[in-house]
Amino acid sequence: MGSKNKLKRFKENETFANVIQPSREEVTSNFSLKGKWNTFFKNDNPIVLELGCGKGEYTIALAEKNPNKNFIGIDIKGARFWRGAKTAIENDMQNVAFIRTQIELVDYIFAENEVDEIWITFPDPQIKYQRTKHRMTNATFLKRYHTILKEGGIMNLKTDSEFMHGYTLGLLHGEGHEILHANHNVYKNEGAPEEVTSTQTFYEKQYLEIGKPITYIRFKLNY
């Protein structure tokens, strides 16, 4: 994407009512919407997050299928989720929002027990050992998610990375979390939820073209 195109998208994001772009200081200093997302959506419907949402494909697809839930995509790259935000506005989807911020600040953005479900879609697996702290399903991140999830809240991980799939399964087993469904190839093995196979992200389609298996884990965090 050219720099001019990126700048155009950044500018357009600033005009979108469904895009929130706080500074890091605003997020960490008693973020105004923490615990008050019902005032943003003007309802008390369940909240579902897509972390590292990219173009927002899952945020949009799930929001279309579930009008009685609120969906929030989070990514640091605003030029990417511009597409999702624009689609939501064009289709008058009132149950969609996007936040431009770092995933590690998620527990500054939401209060305890404020979120019903979390999707992590095709994260960077951060394979090198020294990058473990950046892995979005490491023990530290899981504790952050647990803090904001309601009791019994659901986690979803969809990835093309066999490493990420195996790493996460091992960690979940080791820490005693509840694995509801695990699938090493959702398009060949039966049992994957419909929402896993009916929505494909931009990158997922590229992976499928070269025959990479897509994996999925659905789980609950028990601490």
Q: Measuring CA to CA, which residue among 216, 219, 202 is closest to residue 153? A: 219
Q: Measuring CA to CA, which residue among 159, 152, 60, 166 is closest to residue 115? A: 152
Q: What is the DSSP letter of 184?
A: S
The encoded tokens of residue 47 equal 């909240």
Q: Which sign, positive or negative, has the C-alpha torsion 153, 159, 162, 167?
A: negative
Residue 124 appears among annotated catalytic residues: yes
Task: Check if the beta carbon of residue 90 is closer than 8 Å to that of residue 127.
Answer: no
75, 92, 116, 124: the active-site residue:
124
Catalytic machinery residues:
124
